Amino acid sequence: MRLIYIGSRGDLSLQPLLYLLQSGHTICAVAAQTDAELSDARLPVFIEHKDSIETLARVFALPVINMSVPLQDCIAAIALLAPDLILVSCYEKKLPQEILNIPAYGCFNFHPSALPQYRGPVPVFWQFRDGLTELGVSLHGMTEQLDAGPVVARGEVAMPDGVTQARAYQLLAQAYVELLPGFLLALASDTLAAIAQDESAMSYQAYPQAEDFRVYPHWSARRIFNFISATEHWGCVYPCSISNTEYSLESVFAYNEEELPDENCVIDGDTIQIACSPGVLLARLVPV
């Protein structure tokens, strides 16, 4: 089976591709919005990134299709390779129907949520914001509507307390890899079961705005701790209103299941203890 793999930087794209390469599947090309740059037109030295699937493709001497060029050029390059299957992971743009129609077995995309819930560009952010401690992964057929095609494989990943986004992505990528053997075997044997998504259960979230980083004392201390730990790399402030006083949190240290005696918060320098429901959160305040 001839396969084209489309993705970007990071573990969510890298780990499934590495599995496919190491397990002997026929990858006829890798496609991405290329991040190789020319430092000087007279001296074509590529600046590459170790977390890029483009760099991995070059290590394995695979053709790289530049998805930054005009769309018709991408379509022509993919069609010329005549893939049987296209797999996509962490590619931010919508693929046109002309590309979806090319492979005989179809195009399939990895998505880090239990579809149809948490459709959209940053589902991991919203799952942590909602206090989920187990995040879903889905492999689905691709259609003209983003994240809406029938689901062919699912998984679930338990997230440890205090996990960063980088570590969360590593765990989700491992779950992606675990879905691949069964999916590829079912596809090759014509036994793949595709389950249509229940649109009545669908939820969609766009990119977060500043107010979406707000945290609330009526949340549990664990929920706030995990949300801030997993999203701190965004570099945003976490507003929190306590007894009609507005505080701005920068980061978190720890949480516990105890209670603050008769107080909503205790401030010591740039640290704050917040009485939550339940538990106590220890956080750092934004310097003033």
Q: If you average pLDDT over every residue of the chain, what do you get? A: 92
pLDDT at 50: 61
Radius of gyration over alpha carbons of the chain, in Å?
22
**Residue 268 to residues 93, 272, 282, 284, Cα–Cα distance (Å):** 46, 6, 11, 10
pLDDT at 15: 96
Contact yes or no for 214/232 (Cβ under 8 A): no
DSSP assignment letter at 124: H
The model's pLDDT over 179-235, given as tens digits with 9 standing for 90+, comes to 999 999 999 999 999 999 999 999 999 999 999 999 999 999 999 999 999 999 999
Look at residue 96 and tell me whether its pLDDT is greater than 60. Answer: yes
Averaged pLDDT, 254-259: 93
Domains and CATH numbers, the chain: 2-201 (3.40.50.170), 210-285 (3.10.25.10)
Q: What is the DSSP string of 213-276?
A: G---TTS-HHHHHHHHHHHGGG---EEEEETTEEEEEEEEEEEES---TT-SEEEETTEEEEE-
DSSP assignment letter at 117: T
pLDDT band at 49 (very low <50, low <70, confident <90, very high): low
**From CA 134, how far away is CA 57, in angstroms rounded?**
32
Look at residue 146 and tell me whether its pLDDT is greater than 80. Answer: yes
The model's pLDDT over 226-245, given as tens digits with 9 standing for 90+, comes to 999 999 999 999 999 999 99
pLDDT at 46: 37
Lowest mean pLDDT: which of 26-40, 69-83, 102-116, 233-247?
26-40
pLDDT at 63: 93
pLDDT band at 48 (very low <50, low <70, confident <90, very high): very low
What is the value of pTM for the model shown?
0.92
pLDDT at 174: 98
